[in-house]
Amino acid sequence: MAELNTGDGGGKKGSGKVRSKKSNSKVDLTAMVDLAFLLITFFMLTTTLSKPQSMNLGLPDKDPDKDKNIDVKVDENRTMTILLGDNNKLVRYVGLLATPVAGGAPKDFAYGSDGIRKELLSRKEAVLQYTGNKDKGMIVIIKPSKKSNYRNLVDILDEMAIVNVPTYAIVNDFTPEETKLLGESASAEKTAPAAVPNP
Amino acid sequence: MAIKMKKKSTSTDMTAMCDVAFLLLTFFILTATAKVPEVMPVDTPASTVQTKLPEKDLATLTVGNGKVFFDVKGKDVRKRTLELMSNKYGVKFSDDDQNKFASMESFGVPIQSLKQVLDAKPSERKNIIQPGIPKDSLDNQLAEWIQNARLANIELQDKELEIAIKGDAKEEYPVIKRVMDILQDQKINNFSLVTGLRGKEK
């Protein structure tokens, strides 16, 4: 294959002696090397790619004694609340629901780069300008409803990581107004808040 | 008189290359671990975050169809966990059962019927319907499994066990929340969510 026959093929004829044909002692290794490298590539990729990816999530301490859970007051101009509903529905409002800040009235958004991410990025900028302090960035409150699924939660947490939101929290409290926003039956869930500040 | 050009051989000596290639090949084959088919396959949601899960000191809670399956890495940790669990629930397991449990993957049965799963051949385990580990407040075996696995891991590896939740993308949030609550009840506030890989969107 990759070798030209350089040896004298015929030799002199008619010398009378019977010569045994010299066989080439070299074996063509090209095909073997090809195969070996192919297998190496395969095993290398499968060993490193099969490791599952993961996303780290830190939750704050949940004290069973409710009196010890101190409510932290935050500036409503810095908060954005994201409600996750069924059928990939996503509603966000900025500030308080009753008195949203300018342009922050409840609105439906889609997941992905054209939907919520644009909004998050622009709102993040606006908050930074409002506070003028790098340490006081946007606070996002994620409220997954009972009918939202796990993909929604991971998607929105992923957006948080992409947009680099400094503080976000998962809260399970639903007010009746918020439930109405998602158009679900008014089965407001009242549980202890499970906030998630970003470490 | 014609001048003859010396013919050069075009072949290169591939022996060394072949040696190296096969050495590497052997290395990768030996380090590769065979993938055991999962009892409950789940479709993990994709994310752009790319943190790899650790190989050791890890417990995986697989959540799908409202059922929770449990898995701990490391044979000795698994054995010790089973021992602690059998003491707690008064279910006896023979040495043979313990070895089988050590080499098994994730499972999702109450501890009372764990023996049935262990007795089955590995190839037949898939056919056993596993109802998931009980996780309601009356019979919270999941919490016990996690607790004991953590104890076993600290005992044997001297390290805190890490917890990963591997949820199905279509799983409803309350089930995930229930699992997170169980973890939080044990003051595990930091855990991982297993996700699939998604390329960076521009």
**pLDDT tens track for B76-118:** 888 888 888 888 888 888 888 888 888 777 888 888 888 888 8
Joined together, the tokens standing for residue A174 give 């639903």
| Identity at A48, one-letter amino acid code | T
Backbone φ and ψ of B51, nearest 5°: -110, 130
Report the alpha-carbon distance of residue A119 to residue A92 in Å, rounded.
9
pLDDT at B174 over 80: yes
Using a CB–CB cutoff of 8 Å, tell me whether A46 touches chain B.
yes
Best A154, A164, A196 member to test B by mutation, with max B CBs in 10 Å, is: A154
**Structural domain boundaries enclosing A147:** 67-181
A54 → chain B, closest CA residue:
B194
Confidence at A2, pLDDT banded by 50, 70, 90: low
Asked if the structure places residue A35 within a domain, the reply is no
Asked if the structure places residue A15 within a domain, the reply is no
0.90 surpassed by complex ipTM? no
The pLDDT of residue A44: 82
Asked if the structure places residue A72 within a domain, the reply is yes
Report the alpha-carbon distance of residue B66 to residue B40 in Å, rounded.
12
Asked if the structure places residue A153 within a domain, the reply is yes
Asked if the structure places residue A170 within a domain, the reply is yes
Q: Following CA atoms B133, A170, B48, B159 in sequence, which dihedral angle do they give, to the nearest 10 degrees? A: -60
pLDDT at A16 over 70: no
Mean of per-residue pLDDT scores for chain A: 74
Best A38, A48, A54 member to test B by mutation, with max B CBs in 10 Å, is: A54
A40 → chain B, closest CA residue:
B25
Residue contacts between A and B (CB atoms, under 8 Å): 167
Report the alpha-carbon distance of residue B46 to residue B83 in Å, rounded.
36
pLDDT at A50 over 70: no
Contact B173 A149 (CB under 8 A): yes
Q: Where are the alpha helices (DSSP H) in chain B?
A: 15-31, 75-89, 95-102, 114-119, 141-157, 173-185
Q: What is the pTM of this model?
A: 0.70
Using a CB–CB cutoff of 8 Å, tell me whether B18 touches chain A.
yes
Q: Domain count of chain A?
A: 1
Higher pLDDT, residue A170 or B50: A170
Radius of gyration of chain B measured on its C-alpha atoms: 24
Which domain CATH number covers A157? 3.30.420
The pLDDT of residue A38: 92
Report the alpha-carbon distance of residue A59 to residue A167 in Å, rounded.
12
For B36, residues 6+ apart whose C-beta sits below 8 A from its C-beta are: B105
* Domain boundary assignment for chain B: 66-197
- DSSP code of residue A78: G
Show residues of chain A in contact with B8, CB under 8 Å.
Answer: 6
The pLDDT of residue A186: 38
A residues 50-69 lying closer than 8 A (beta carbon) to B: 50-62
Give the percent of chain A with pLDDT over 70: 72
Residue range A60-116, pLDDT digits in tens: 776 655 555 566 677 777 888 888 888 888 888 887 877 777 777 788 888 877 888
